[in-house]
Amino acid sequence: MPVISITMGPSTEEQKKMLIERLTADAMDITHIGAEHFTVLLNELPYENLGVGGRTVKEIRAGK
């Protein structure tokens, strides 16, 4: 059973639904494995728990 795991910042329910649908569809096209075999895990982290270039994403988004 293939598992697709994404760690990201907060997102809407609609964005999560689209990610699950598209990631599954692309993985099916590439591997020729049926959708029922894929598990998609979306791990959301608050922006203060994500860092880029020594700053949190919360700081970056605030323009600091």
pLDDT tens digits, 4-57: 999 999 999 999 999 999 999 999 999 999 999 999 999 999 999 999 999 999
The per-residue pLDDT for 64 is 82
Q: Which residues contact 9 (CB under 8 A, 6 or more apart)?
A: 44, 45, 46, 47, 50, 57
The residues spanned by each domain of the chain are 3-61
Q: SS3 of 3, please?
A: strand
Question: Can you tell me the distance from the alpha carbon of 24 to that of 44, in angstroms, rounded to the nearest whole number?
Answer: 18
The domain at 3-61 falls in which architecture? 2-Layer Sandwich (3.30)
The per-residue pLDDT for 52 is 95
59 confidence band (pLDDT: 50, 70, 90): very high
